[in-house]
Amino acid sequence: MGRPDKATRAAIARRRSDAIDLRTAGVDWLTIARKLAADPAVNSDGIAYPQGYGIERYRRSQDPPSDETLIHAACRDVRTALADRRAELNDNVDELRSLEADRLDRLFFVAYKKAVRDQDLHAVDRTLRIMERRARLLGLDMPVRTELTGAGGGAVQIENVTADELDALITLTDPDAAG
What pTM value is reported for the model?
Answer: 0.53
What value does the mean pLDDT take over residues 60-76? 91
The per-residue pLDDT for range 33-64, each reduced to its tens digit, is: 999 998 888 888 888 888 888 888 888 899 98
- Distance CA(114)–CA(102), nearest Å, equals 19
Q: What is the pLDDT of residues 105-156, one digit of tens each?
A: 999 999 999 999 999 999 999 999 999 999 999 989 888 777 777 777 777 7
Residue type, 60: R
Hey, what long-range contacts does 9-15 have (CB within 8 A, 24 or more apart)? 11/50, 11/51, 12/51, 13/81, 14/50, 14/51, 15/49, 15/50, 15/51, 15/52, 15/77
pLDDT of residue 129: 97
CA distance 55 to 6: 17
User: In 1-157, where does DSSP find H-type helix?
Assistant: 6-24, 29-35, 55-59, 67-118, 121-138
